[in-house]
Amino acid sequence: MENNTIHFGELLLDITLMPLIAFIVGLLLVLMMRRVRAKIERRVGPPFLQPLYDIIKLYAKKTQISHGYMHDIAIMMLLGGYIASEIFLPVPGMDGLAHQGDLIVLIYLLMVPMLGMALGVGQCANPNGSIGISRALSSMLAYDVPFIIVVAGAAISYGSTNLVQIIEIQQQNGTWGLFSMPLLAIAGIMSMYAMLGKEPFEIYVAPAEIATGPMVEMGGKYMGALFVMQCFQLYTVGVLYTTLFLGGGENWLTFLPKVFAVVLLAVSITNVFGRYRTDDVIRWIWKWPTGIALLGLAVVMLGN
């Protein structure tokens, strides 16, 4: 009975700390993203606490417009999907619910935020928002195909969909998935980068064309929630790729540099490419990441 109590207490602590750590690291990733872009554009960049100031400022504003209960529920889905995802992503010293859930559960949870945004924007009846969310769902349909193939290939290669076991296998063998299945790793970074919705995949925001799309009717606490979601989004992509292909981390000193390196690579690409058209995005993702993922899956299956 005492052991069960201790185990429950540790699990409760993990569930509390893991989203909090994700948010803090996500703020640092947002700061890095802004400063890298500033350096490329020969600007100074924001101060250290600017991402946090932006969120506090937005939540402090009064929201004058309400689009109904579904709009509020959508914001809960936006944040809830990513917060739930964090407790299934093992990090050094904390496994959360990673033993109870696996990659399949995580795939479903990562679809929730985009669907929540679709429900919320649908309540606004703004044409720019409707165009943006239709593009977002098209983009999700595009990048989910190579992403699922990559997940399937990784599961076959490791013989498990349990993220904790996947990390242990890489650390015990002394070989990262990046080197044991390089084609899947390349397709994985491409599809996960498309998840971020940054250039050249920024089709549903497109500020110069559809006035930021889904965000056009968001203000105050709603916009603040989207800022928080961005923090979780960057963290989730970095940690998931690190878990699947970079061996996780035995401690935070070896884990965080990998996460920041993954996001830095994506941010660097963002600043040298323009935005694609919607049909170009779908065509490109289904041609290159999907093709490379299928080839990598074939190599893994033949190797096993």
pLDDT at position 2, please? 45
pLDDT at position 10, please? 85
* Structure confidence by residue, pLDDT tens digits, 214-226: 666 676 788 888 8
Please identify every stretch of the chain with a pLDDT value under 50, giving residue numbers as ranges: 1-2
* Structure confidence by residue, pLDDT tens digits, 6-40: 577 888 999 999 999 999 999 999 999 999 989 88
Sign of the C-alpha dihedral computed for residues 16, 162, 93 and 259 taken in this order: negative
pLDDT at position 200, please? 83
pLDDT at position 90, please? 95
